[in-house]
Structure 1
Amino acid sequence: MSISKYILTIVAIVSAFIFTSCEKEIDVDLKSSEPKLVIEGLIAADSLATVRLTMSKDFSGNNTFDPVLGAIVSVSDDKGNTETLKIDTSGIYKAINLRGVPGRTYNLKVNVDGQQYTASSTMSPHTVKIDSITMYYIPLFKYAFPMIHFQDPKGSKNYYRELLYINGKRKKMEEDATDTDDREGFYLSRIIPAYKENGSDEDPIKKGDTITVEHQLLDKGAYTFFETLGRIGNSQTNPTNNIVGGALGYFSAYTFDRKTVIADWPE
């Protein structure tokens, strides 16, 4: 992957601005005319495993997604620990005891009406810390984007994804996972694009806002899902996932770091 994936130029930002910003929260199911199970499985370092199950809808359907009830969902690790997840009042299947441990491989099993789906994801043994966050002012937009700075570890190819929170609320963004294909072991800077919402004239980031970035270190399977999700746009294909059995979605075991700054920049 080229260096432009790490340090965006103004040209790249202007080009990206022509695309609609949307929450890629498995709206890939719109590419499937026949309803399919959609799995969103997560286990972060020192966090409980969670799995969200919904059914895909045709493109012409409404944009509400009811949880799939009555599924048997379990997560196990390579140390012999396993737990059957329980559904909560929000429709999310959650573990009570099983937490993510760096370096372990996790296996997901989902059984819905006798059909089994499986996935595996390995959590990195380390966390890549955010060294700092600066605000990158863009005259075209008249506000600044957050830019994270971090040291990529030597000796392994790594895969990253970021989430952005503005005043505690997650910002809708285009998915943009990246790897260290030609930057392994480098000190890296990465802009987190924050575009205006559809139909809104309000700047998404203002001076004085509290900006939090979550910097995730993924395995290759989860990275491939998010990277292809970011590239497919409105094509009639679904992103490459790591789930066996025909479901859409992904399963990701990951480490992460978060850092918060107050937005400010010279103009």
Structure 2
Amino acid sequence: MRKASVTLLLTAMLATACEKEITVDLQSKEDQLVVEGIIEDGRFPMVILSRSLNYFSRITPKQLTASFVHNARITVSNGTSTHELREYKSDTTAGVILYFYTVDTARLSTAFTGERTVSYTLKIEAEGKTMHATTTIPAASLKLDSMWWKKAEGKDSGTRARVLVKVTDPPERGNYVRYFTSRNGERFLPGLNSVFDDQVVNGTTFDVPVDAGVDKNQSIDFDTYGFFDRGDTVTLKFCNVDHSTYDFWRTADFAYTSTGNPFATPTRITGNVQGALGYWGGYGVTYRTIIIPK
């Protein structure tokens, strides 16, 4: 450990001795359209369409509400039927009105819910632009076998617990999962690193811990991150996803966790929407619930 400390100290001294002033010209860019679209098996598609916001701006509820794009023509096709989505709004407790597009209840003859192994094409026409994306809801390739809990170690053993799952992966490579957790009936939230693939575990049955999901709009207490409280009812939303959905959230999660780290590699978030930022993702969902006793 002493050798490592000396090495870091020398590196810092050399960096200071060779200090050079660097000016970065942050050019202003025009707003871009941002798509967040999902379709789950057994559910209607949903799309949120907005404009990007300035990275350095202080985002207020009014600005966030104003960022949503209205009167877009959004259609989803499953190869047999094409359904045009309708815009709705919902008030939130944070004072923001959320706008989203989903099934048009006046046109149920063309409406459909998601099915596993089916591909879905999204088309968006808004503000003189046309955007396209395709996703597939995968089969349940990575299977959720069981779910259990164990006591936290050390001083938190009486108040906190970890949740683990057993998962079986098929011999075929290229399977991906995104997960969310809900405690005590609250909304589902993803973990800080919410996706994983089968590159290392291909063709095996393995145990893996599941971190409690977090609201990334709130500050995170890393002393308690990942734990559930004794007495919690925990529901896991375990989603098989395609590669594009995995890649989007893999890069988005990394970008979030490395924010503020000067040594982190700059990350380009990889979307699958042609003509806009964001993603259109299919989710094959399995739910599992356990009660952690006090």
TM over 0.5: yes
Question: 1:248-263 to 2 correspondence within 5 Å?
Answer: 248-263=277-292
Long gaps (5+) in structure 1? 1-31
Distance, in Å, in 2 between the alignment partners of 1:44 and 1:189 is: 25
Distance, in Å, in 2 between the alignment partners of 1:195 and 1:107 is: 30
| Letter paired with 2:289 | T
In the alignment, what sits opposite 1:188? Answer: 206
For the residue of structure 2 that corresponds to 1:231, the secondary structure is helix
For the residue of structure 2 that corresponds to 1:131, the secondary structure is strand
Contact 1:103–1:126 (CA under 8 A) maintained in structure 2: no
Distance, in Å, in 2 between the alignment partners of 1:227 and 1:137 is: 29
TM-score normalised according to structure 1 size: 0.78
Question: 1:82-97 to 2 correspondence within 5 Å?
Answer: 82-90=82-90, 91-96=99-104, 97=111
Q: CA deviation at 1:219?
A: 0.4
Selected match of 1:149 from 166, 177, 181: 166
Contact 1:128–1:256 (CA under 8 A) maintained in structure 2: no
CA offsets, 1:85-120, max 9 Å, x none?
Answer: 001232210024221111111111111111111111
RMSD, matched Cα: 2.5
Is 1:56 aligned to residue 52 of structure 2? yes
Q: CA deviation at 1:126?
A: 3.5
In the alignment, what sits opposite 1:126? Answer: 140
For the residue of structure 2 that corresponds to 1:35, the secondary structure is coil
TM-score normalised according to structure 2 size: 0.71
CA offsets, 1:126-160, max 9 Å, x none?
Answer: 36442221224332682222212121123242001
For the residue of structure 2 that corresponds to 1:259, the secondary structure is strand
CA 1:195/1:254 → structure 2, altered by over 3 Å: closer, same or farther?
Answer: closer
In the alignment, what sits opposite 1:198? Answer: 219
For the residue of structure 1 that corresponds to 2:229, the secondary structure is coil
CA offsets, 1:41-62, max 9 Å, x none?
Answer: 1001111011011222112231
Percentage of pairs with the same residue: 26
In the alignment, what sits opposite 1:35? Answer: 31
Q: Which has the larger radius of gyration?
A: 2
CA 1:256/1:231 → structure 2, altered by over 3 Å: closer, same or farther?
Answer: same
| Letter paired with 1:243 | V
Higher relative contact order (CA 8 A, sep 6+): 1
| Letter paired with 1:131 | D
Selected match of 1:210 from 233, 239, 247: 233
Deviates more, 1:169-178 or 1:94-103: 169-178
Long gaps (5+) in structure 2? 1-27, 91-98, 105-110
For the residue of structure 2 that corresponds to 1:226, the secondary structure is helix
Distance, in Å, in 2 between the alignment partners of 1:89 and 1:199 is: 29
| Letter paired with 1:174 | L
